[in-house]
Amino acid sequence: MSRFAEPQHDDFRRLNDSIGFDRRLAPFDVEQSRAHASMLAASGIIAGSERDELHRALDRVQRELDDGSFTFSAGDEDIHMAIERRVTELAGAVGGKLHTARSRNDQVATDMAMYVRARAGDAAGALAGLAHTLIELAERHLDWPLPGYTHLQRAQPVYLSHHLLAYVWMLVRDRERFRLVTDATALLPLGAGALAGVNFDTDRRLVADALGFQGVSANSIDAVSNRDFVLDYLAAAATCATHLSRLGAELVLFSSEEFGFCELSDAWSSGSSIMPQKKNPDAAELLRAKAPRVAGHLVALHGVLHGLPLTYNKDMQEDKEHLFDTADTLELCLSAAQGMMGSIAFKRDRMAAAAADELPAATDIADLLVRRGLPFREAHGVVAGLVRAALDAGKSLSGLAPDELAAHSPLLGEEYYAVLRDGAWLEAKVSEGGTSLARVREQLEQARACLP
Ligand code: ARG
């Protein structure tokens, strides 16, 4: 019997069905259903023999899903209904008992929590992999100078190791964010029923243990309304994708003829369809461009959930494509970033030549004056005058003669030239977290200790 006299309109079906995308929840739905059937038997709600029949049917469903022989039928609105339909085909009438003390509302929340937990773990693993690649790269380029930039203007030279480690720390924080996402999936929604709980004294903790949850949600209304863990995943992913976009952007710049700091391997570059000489950093450009897509998914789900009355509303079905596309995009970007960085070639000479520009040492000369008692603001003015004099005379800073120095300050002598000698200003950055080699070595230790 059906409550409805008319069949569903085709376009309503197309709008309403989620089977086109939620089938990737299938392994979690089967696992959940197994645990649920076990609990129903343990609680005396179904017989042990019925549980066994349900388990046999669920095993078969899983095999069919694995080998691709599972066939979906026209009435399968979503993965939950498809699996229950197939279980009933295989097990007969007992299949109809699987949904006892369960609603699709707590069922889908549970599948989603399990899915998010799995993908957060995958992202954390991929982040560790990329971070290790960058750490190895930093070790191999420990003392290669390049200019550090602010406003994309040469500011102060740094070691490439230091620059690469900056990304490692972003990834370490990203990894921690995904760990917090996992925490957000700790409580089992199943058992909340449609919204109010179920008419059986179910053993929710048994199900929680079987499915790897730490405990059970305390409020059935919250349990079926909650998608915080999806928002948390999307937020962690958006921040991570933003980090990767900055890496991508730098690779685009640094691999250009103008910078010439690095060359991406052929495996991560494309040619031009018209200009045979070109080698384009498409992969790096796409790393740069994927971030807004992920951030868009986060904003979209906030839009779906904001102002939504409790409890379950069909709006919430819209969580899935945002989540799935985000997870796919992010994991692909992480693996591409690892591939690109694992095969990149840096060009020592080009970076060193750019870093040998003396003007970035202006701050170091100001600090020399500070050590001789001048307040920093005044020192800043003196050095600005020196920079201007050098530029006007078409000289480098070290090309200024002692009498020219004396015209700007009586405090500048031989040490001025020592500060400008190759590399001196890098090794002068001795403060904790600075670019001097000893500090970078410390940092490498710290970074390794943060990663599995
Ligand atoms: N396909 C639905 C979703 O993804 C499953 C839950 C349906 N629940 C309901 N009461 N219609 O959200």
Segment 291-306 mean pLDDT: 98
Please report, for residues 166, 238, 240, 247, 305, the alpha-carbon distance to residue 243 in angstroms, rounded to integers and kept in the order given: 10, 9, 5, 7, 26
Distance (angstroms) between ligand 1 centre and the Cα of 1 equals 21
pLDDT of residue 359: 81
Does the pLDDT value for residue 252 go beyond 80? yes
Does the pLDDT value for residue 198 go beyond 80? yes
Beta strands 187-188; 215-216: pairing state: parallel
Segment 214-223 mean pLDDT: 98
Distance (angstroms) between ligand 1 centre and the Cα of 254 equals 48
Q: DSSP secondary structure string, 172-224? A: HHHHHHHHHHHHHT-EE-TT-TTTT--SS---HHHHHHHHT-SEE-S-HHHHH
Mutation to probe ligand 1, out of 14, 17, 78 (largest number of atoms < 8 A from CB): 78
pLDDT of residue 425: 84
pLDDT of residue 206: 98
pLDDT of residue 276: 74
Instruction: Choose the catalytic residue: 69, 151, 273, 306.
Output: 151
For residues 212 and 161, the answer to whether their CB atoms sit within 8 Å is no
Instruction: Choose the catalytic residue: 49, 265, 270, 272.
Output: 272
What is the spatial distance between Cα 437 and Cα 427, in angstroms, rounded to a whole number? 7
Does the pLDDT value for residue 441 go beyond 90? yes
Mutation to probe ligand 1, out of 105, 110, 230 (largest number of atoms < 8 A from CB): 105
pLDDT of residue 247: 98
pLDDT of residue 362: 85
Segment 416-439 mean pLDDT: 89
Q: DSSP secondary structure string, 127-178? A: HHHHHHHHHHHHHHTTT-EEEEEETTEEEEEEEHHHHHHHHHHHHHHHHHHH
Residue type, 185: T
Lowest mean pLDDT among 94-98, 106-110, 362-366: 362-366
Catalytic annotation on 36? no
| CB 87 less than 6 A from any atom of ligand 1 | no
pLDDT of residue 274: 77
| CB 316 less than 6 A from any atom of ligand 1 | yes
Catalytic annotation on 217? no
pLDDT of residue 150: 96
pLDDT of residue 413: 84
What percent of the chain is predicted at pLDDT more than 90?
A: 88
Q: Delineate the domains of the chain, giving CATH numbers in brackets.
A: 10-100 (1.10.275.10), 105-200+213-353 (1.20.200.10), 355-450 (1.10.40.30)
Number of helices (H) and strands (E) in the chain: give both, helices first. Answer: 19, 6
Lowest mean pLDDT among 40-44, 133-137, 387-391: 387-391
Render pLDDT for 151-184 as a digit per residue (tens, 0 to 9). 999 999 999 999 999 999 999 999 999 999 999 9
- Banded model confidence at residue 279, pLDDT cuts 50, 70, 90: confident
pLDDT of residue 278: 80
Mutation to probe ligand 1, out of 190, 227, 317 (largest number of atoms < 8 A from CB): 317
| CB 61 less than 6 A from any atom of ligand 1 | no
CA 159 to chain centre: 26
Question: Which residue, among 254, 257, 243, has the nearest Cα to 146 in the 3D structure?
Answer: 254
**Looking at ligand 1, which atom is closest to the CA of residue 320?**
4
CA 41 to chain centre: 41
Does the pLDDT value for residue 1 go beyond 80? no
Question: Of 362 and 72, which is predicted with more confidence?
Answer: 72
What is the spatial distance between Cα 7 and Cα 89, in angstroms, rounded to a whole number? 23
Q: Residue 414 burial by CB count (10 A; 0-12/13-18/19+): exposed, middle or buried?
A: exposed
Segment 202-230 mean pLDDT: 98
| CB 18 less than 6 A from any atom of ligand 1 | yes
Render pLDDT for 365-417 as a digit per residue (tens, 0 to 9). 999 999 999 999 999 999 999 999 999 999 989 899 999 999 998 988 888 98
Report the mean per-residue pLDDT for the chain.
95
